[in-house]
Amino acid sequence: MSTTESTPEQRLPQECPKIMLQLPLEVFDEIFRHLKFDKRSLYSCLLVNRFWCRKVVPLIWRRPMPYNQKKNGNHVDVGVFIPFFNEEERKGLMESGITIPDRPCPFFNYAQFLHILDIEGIEKAAKDWLARIAREKAQLHEICADEDRRDESPPDAGVSVSAADRSPEISTTNALVASLLKMFMRCAINLKYLVLNPFGGYRDIPDSRIFIEGRPGLTNLRKFKIRFNSLSVIRPEHRKNIFELLNALPGICTGIHHLDITRVRVSNPDVARMVGGVIRSQQQLFYCRFFRIDGDVDSLISELRFQVNNLITVVFDDTDLDGVSLEPLAQCAKLEALIFRRCRNVDLGRWRSLVNAPFKLKLLHLSDLSLDVTKAIIEKASDNLEKIGMKIVPSNVEGLETIMNNCPNVTHFSISFVQTQIDINKVVPLIDKLQSLTHLTISLWGQKNGAYDFLIELSKINFRKLQYLELALPFSAEGLKIFLENCRSPLTTLIIELINEEDLEIFKKFSRERGTLKWLGVEYSKPGETQMSHYDFLRKITSLAEGISFIK
């Protein structure tokens, strides 16, 4: 071969761009869609070329808020939105003493990419930006003092200097938040999800007219979450703007698919009418969740009768259902998923009203229910059931038997053992009956030597279709070694609590011999003796792996 002739390996980097150019545009959309939660990879893609940049920027800016104070340097610079303020929005800032910084206009109007709007997150981001500007201003003053300059104002950095600047006043923050929200209501043409939560200690949201009058604003909402920080009584005089917005929302948007009602105390008819009106008015509501609802819960549940032709998933989470009728679910012919998680007072009498209901349940999650109710719900689902998660306590192991005897088509099974001792020799053979399983999650804590014994028994089962296995149990290298040596399942994903560097060979050996394992997930929570950070530890483990990707 001539010395000038290149090998295939040498030609590949040059040919890759040509191959990429031949791909349909829809392929790029699909690739980047799978990376939407991987910000690090998206930022790398951002720098490839202009085409990739235009595709990736909308994904990165889908949810710039809420601002996470725990991750240093990961804050949102709300200043990037200010160049796109109109005259009214700028006037609101100036009237509150905020001087608009002189900065170049970004290449993109990031507000138009917003899919998710978290009200409290915007407030946190605004506070952070104002505080940072104030610090920069103070630093300039200190530099001037050190250099013994004349007593005159330094170049404007964004706000006027005063003691209040160093700890931005409430009115200043509210003014910035109001201008941001007005701009979002005007520019965020892709807004689909609103998290409506009151500001920290002030218990309300900005002027409701911003949301009611802004267009396109909330007209295209598909997901809506009402979230309060506590179960305190909602009084109109304290939450005037929230009341006004919730009362007006049915006239603004009727296309919500996904509704999440969280920590709402239904203390009076006004609250029931206000929140119930949102449920009643939607034309395509297929998911509804009630989390920590207090007071007149029945009045909200009764509103589901207006959604009997739409509802597919209903979630009752950490809520007292004493005196609550489940009959509104009886006519929900399309209902496929039902979740009772940590609910109280769900008795068999209430469930019996649903025994002859026309729906066919494919997904169940049951925890903290009595044995008779658990068995009745599972028997209702019968052979339609495909996915189930449940918590096993000494009194409801029979519920596990009911699954095995009535639900042969279960493919996804999540089980949590919350007792100090379980009869492994009884439980594992029951799981063995679910031969259609493709996904299995097991949580096992609090038992002496329980992890090792459980893995030994589990290794005796031949799951012919199992691809995903998650083990939330104390780490047992010897138990995992024996399990993987005997495992004949086509595992592609294995999730465990932690991993030691010296034990990685267990998974590498399984991957080489079986050729199926592609992902190893690690919930690593303690740096250990190495004193490395979690991410440094995972990077080191990843560098030692051969053909296995790591997820955390």
Of residues 191 and 392, more confidently modeled: 191
Residue that terminates a domain, selected from 11, 36, 60: 60
Please list, in sequence order, all residues whose beta carbon lies within 8 angstroms of the beta carbon of residue 8, skipping any fewer than 6 positions away: none
Residue 498 lies in a domain: yes
Output the domain CATH number for residue 461: 3.80.10
Residue 536 lies in a domain: yes
State the residue range of the domain holding 9.
1-60
Of residues 163 and 53, more confidently modeled: 53
Return d(Cα 373, Cα 396) in angstroms, integer. 10
Q: What percent of the chain has pLDDT over 90?
A: 38
CB 223 within 8 A of CB 194: yes
CB 390 within 8 A of CB 416: yes
Residue 292 lies in a domain: no
Residue 360 lies in a domain: no
Give which of 82, 64, 77, 97 is closest to 175, Cα–Cα: 97
Dihedrals φ, ψ of 225, to 5°? -125, 120
Residue that terminates a domain, selected from 39, 60, 81: 60
Residue that terminates a domain, selected from 60, 77, 110: 60
Give the confidence band of 157 by pLDDT, cuts at 50, 70, 90: very low
pLDDT digits (tens, 9 = 90+) for 307-364: 999 999 999 999 999 989 999 999 999 999 999 999 999 989 889 889 999 999 999 9
Vertex 288, ends 285 and 289: CA angle to 5°?
Answer: 165
Beta strand residue intervals within 102-256, DSSP E = 116-118, 193-196, 223-227
pLDDT at residue 473, rounded to an integer = 83
Residue 266 lies in a domain: no
The mean pLDDT of the chain is: 82
Average pLDDT, stretch 256-269?
92
Give the confidence band of 176 by pLDDT, cuts at 50, 70, 90: very high
Residue 263 lies in a domain: no
Sign of CA dihedral 500, 505, 510, 511: positive
Residue 98 lies in a domain: no
pLDDT digits (tens, 9 = 90+) for 362-412: 999 998 888 899 999 999 999 999 999 988 765 567 778 888 889 999 999
Give the end-to-end CA distance of the chain in Å, rounded to a whole number: 47
How many CB atoms lie under 10 A from the CB of residue 482?
17
Residue 283: both structure tokens together:
């034309």
Cis peptide before 168 (omega within 30 of 0): no
Q: What is the pTM of this model?
A: 0.84
Number of structural domains found in the chain:
2
Give the confidence band of 547 by pLDDT, cuts at 50, 70, 90: low
Give the confidence band of 143 by pLDDT, cuts at 50, 70, 90: confident
- Highest mean pLDDT out of 263-272, 393-402, 420-429: 263-272
Residue 15 lies in a domain: yes
Q: What percent of the chain has pLDDT over 70?
A: 80
